[in-house]
């Protein structure tokens, strides 16, 4: 770690060092996964898909039992 930044807040240190945020890393990972699925690099079972609404973050269309109120 750069010594001048050791007592700064984490987000400021990340920005100063040019590191991506957690949200950016998650979005990048999602894009890479979608690329792999679309191009047939990664095979998935359609039954394993879970749809999430943006309004409340809850799942919809979940058929599996044992999940309770998600």
- Is-contact 60 51, C-beta < 8 A? yes
- For the stretch 19-37, pLDDT in tens is 899 999 999 999 999 899 8
Q: Is the pLDDT of residue 65 over 60?
A: no
Domain extents in the chain: 21-62
Task: Specify the pTM.
Answer: 0.53
Tell me the C-alpha distance between 41 and 29, whole Å: 15
């Amino acid at each position: 770690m750069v010594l001048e930044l050791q007592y700064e807040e984490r987000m400021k240190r990340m920005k100063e060092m040019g590191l991506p945020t957690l949200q950016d890393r998650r979005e990048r990972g999602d894009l890479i996964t979608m690329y792999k699925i679309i191009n047939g690099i990664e095979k998935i079972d359609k039954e394993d898909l879970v749809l999430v609404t943006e309004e409340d973050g809850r799942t919809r269309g979940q058929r599996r039992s044992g999940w309770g109120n998600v």
